[in-house]
Amino acid sequence: MVNVAVLASGRGSNLEALLTAQQARRLGGARVTLVVSDRPDARALTLAGEAGIKAEHLDPSGHTREAYDERLRELLATEDIDLVVLAGFLRILTGAFVRAFPNRIINIHPALLPAFPGLDAQGQALAYGVRVAGATTHFVDEQVDHGPIILQSVVPVRPEDGSDDLSRNILETEHRILVDSVRLFAEGRLSVSGRRVEIKGDVRYPGTPLFVPEVAT
Ligand code: GRF
């Protein structure tokens, strides 16, 4: 079994997708055994509680980043965590924490990295005027939204899309690629070499190219 800790600051829909997959036995040998939030009112904590999973509010107030991450690292060690998933965790982890979990922290980001790292990636994408957006799962390194890419999904941007529409469409694909990434990890099918992640076994891609615009003559 691969014990997974999910760190989340808010809504927790990605956590919910992982829990649904776990119940349906679509998470390989992974199981979420701990949920941690820096915010006491995070829905992610409620979801964890309802699912009978240990839920911890780790309060950052009065702690340096280093001290906070050290408490977090100790908690994860006590709980025997093998994989950390960042699902909307609004804190940047220290280098010391990242080094304690080499290629064992997965982040989900609502953009096609390396485009639009950081906050409000969907808003950044719309403001830039892109025609396609998407989501990325990646292993976490010491730079923000930067480590080796595991999976990406592509979402077309329609002219009428506002930030809410685009966020909703991206979120739907986030849930899929995050579940698949955790499963691939748990099945031992991911290996990292430099920036590249090799996925062992069968991965099927729907017809390519998918999003070539058809412009009327
Ligand atoms: C998602 O868009 C994720 O990509 C980003 O934060 C959001 C978290 O959403 N890192 P939720 O809390 O999982 O619903």
Task: State the DSSP string of 60-117.
Answer: -TT--HHHHHHHHHHHHHHTT-SEEEESS--SPPPHHHHHHSTT-EEEEESS-TTSS-
* Residues lining ligand 1, Cβ inside 6 A: 8, 10-14, 87-88, 108-110, 171, 174
pTM, 2 dp: 0.96
Cα 88 to middle of ligand 1, angstroms: 4
Per-residue pLDDT of the chain (217 residues; tens, 9 = 90+): 999 999 999 999 999 999 999 999 999 999 999 999 999 999 999 999 999 999 999 999 999 999 999 999 999 999 999 999 999 999 999 999 999 999 999 999 999 999 999 999 999 999 999 999 999 999 999 999 999 999 999 999 999 999 999 999 999 999 999 999 999 999 999 999 999 999 999 888 776 666 677 888 8
- Closest atom of ligand 1 relative to the 14 alpha carbon: 13
Residues 134 and 155: their CA atoms lie apart, in Å, by 5
Q: Which residues sit opposite 136 in a β-bridge?
A: 109, 152
Locus of tokens 């829909």: 13
**Cα of 187 vs its chain's centroid, Å:** 18
